[in-house]
Structure 1
Amino acid sequence: MNILIHPTYFPNLAHFVAIAQAEEVTFEMDDNYQKQTYRNRTYIYGANGKLQLSIPIIHSQKERQKYRDLKIYNAENWQAIHWKSLETAYRTSPFFEFYEDDIQPLFTQKADYLLDFNMSCLNVVLDSLQLNLNSSKTDIFQKKTEGKTDFRHLANARKEQVYNFDTYTQVFGNKHGFINNLSILDLLFNEGPNALNYLEAQKLSL
């Protein structure tokens, strides 16, 4: 299966199930930015349950702005806040220390453009999963696709469907139960090298 998908901020499991099971992945690079999407947010499992991490962005005065042109608002020390949240949530997980040195630099090096930063996050996760991706990027935006399964809807946080992925052990699962479809980081820190096997075994409806 060849798929078309948005690069989002540490994508959720639905994104990565689609990516892991695809023969070829094309990343949408030329669309307009939309609010209320996973382009600048992700969800992790904090001590009090589901926790949203959002990247602050600089909104243009233009009615429409290309995703690739969207700048991050770095006056806020959001990177330090996000890393501290990840440490607090996953320091006691089985594989946090295993991947820490690869992921932590993403939160110390200044990032200017949201799309570039999301691609950097994605590449680090792909390396961590040891997932060799046959991928390409779009040059122009096309509403309809030919020869590819369109998974761009997965970026829409407002219309997210309910997924019944297999449960796995989560750090605070004994307090709040299993929380489905969190950031790929939740799976990676809890399942480690088994994460790719997990992704390949899940079912994702269109």
Structure 2
Amino acid sequence: MKIISGHQAVYLPWLGLFHKLYLCDTFVYMDTVQYLHNDFNNRNKIRIPDGWIWLSVPVDQKNSRSKMLNDIIIKDQNPESKDYWQAKHWKSIEVNYCKSKYFEDYAGNLEKMYTETKWEKLVDLCWAQFNFFAGALGIKREIIRMSEVPFKGVKDELVLDHCMKLNGDAVVFGALGRDYVREELFTENRKKIYFQQYIHPQYQQRFKGFEPYMTIADLLFNHGPDSMDILLSGNITQSQLRSELL
């Protein structure tokens, strides 16, 4: 049985995205869907002493060629400015995580993304981070960029087309998929579906208390090689999912 899943490009992705990646055999990186304002395409949370803050990439929708994710450009800023977003984001990460147990294990490569490359397109930054974090977690799957395959349709029809063109037998949707997926569409095409119900684990963070739904970097900086086990704790495994879908 071949399991397909996917997700749109997001900045500093959270734990649940990597659970979806882990569950599938082939993952579609959805970089040509519509950009969602005030969503997670360009932002996520990091821990600070008294809670959390957003880190948001400033985008320039007005001058982007379209509202599709692969066309969204980042607002041009002067790298020498004190308000340069890349420098500010890295400084925020460094200040709040530098004393975490495994910070040094990942900081070097992550820092380079902020200090050695001036990003022009949001999707390119998201793609680089997605691959970096997947590698840090040790998740190896076939990953297809949607922009490189002529998929058709929107919403559930688009995901069905992923499954058809990639010879999948089943599809893993996020929990919100229940709001738009027509199950009969997949049944008619002999494709099975599973709605992910990610149970967020609680783990030791650097600061007092626990704040869920942070970037995956929060888990890695604090728990390093144990991160994947923590990410999966309390959640369905790939082998369990295969058995459930049979």
Q: Shorter-normalised TM-score: what interval?
A: 0.7 to 0.9
Q: 1:56 to 1:152 in 2, by over 3 A?
A: farther
Distance 1:95 1:149 in 2: 31
Post-superposition shift, 1:62?
A: 8.1
Provide the residue aligned with 2:172 in structure 1. Answer: 149
In the other structure, the counterpart of 1:16 is 18
C-alpha separation in 2, matches of 1:152 and 1:34: 18
For 2:130 and 2:11, the matched residues in 1 are separated by: 8
What residue is the counterpart of 1:157 in the other structure? none
Give the structure 1 partner of residue 126 of structure 2.
118
Q: Which residue in 1 is equivalent to 2:181?
A: none
Alignment partner of 1:80 is 2:87: yes
Shift of 1:37: 1.1
Task: Answer 1 or 2: higher relative contact order, Cα 8 Å, separation at least 6.
Answer: 1
Corresponding position: 1:187 with 2:187 = no
Paired amino acid for 1:121: Q
Which AA in structure 1 matches 2:109?
D
Change in 2 beyond 3 A, CA 1:63/1:73 = closer
Q: Aligned residues, how many?
A: 194
Q: Which residue of 1 is the match for residue 136 of structure 2?
A: 128
1:28-67 matched pairs, under 5 angstroms = 28-60=30-62, 65-67=67-69
Q: Post-superposition shift, 1:103? A: 0.7
State which drifts further: 139-148 or 180-189: 139-148
- How far does residue 182 in structure 1 lie from its aligned partner after superposition? 0.9
Is the aligned partner of 1:169 residue 2:169? Answer: no
* Structure 1 CA distance for aligned equivalents of residues 91 and 127 of structure 2: 21
Shift of 1:21: 2.5
Q: CA RMSD in A?
A: 2.3
In the alignment, is the contact (CA less than 8 A) between 1:33 and 1:64 conserved in 2? Answer: no
2:231 aligned residue: 199
Alpha-carbon displacement from aligned partner over 1:115-163 (angstroms, at most 9, x marks no partner): 0110011111122222212211223453222243333959xxxxxxx96
Deviations 1:68-127 (CA, angstroms, capped at 9, x unpaired) = 011001315101100010011101110001111111000011001000110011111122
Max radius of gyration: which structure? 2
Distance 1:17 1:200 in 2: 7
Aligned-partner Cα distance in 1 for 2:219–2:228 = 9
TM-score (norm 2): 0.72
TM-score (norm 1): 0.85
Residue 51 of structure 1: how far off its partner (Å): 1.0
Q: Which position in structure 1 is the counterpart of 2:112?
A: 105
Q: CA deviation at 1:24?
A: 2.0
Letter aligned with residue 149 of structure 1? V
Tell me the distance in 1 between the aligned counterparts of 2:53 and 2:64.
31
Identity, % of aligned positions: 25
List gaps (5 residues or longer) in structure 1. 155-161
Contact 1:4 1:152 survives alignment (8 Å): no
Q: Do the aligned partners of residues 46 and 34 (structure 1) sit closer, same or farther apart at CA in structure 2, a change above 3 Å counting?
A: same
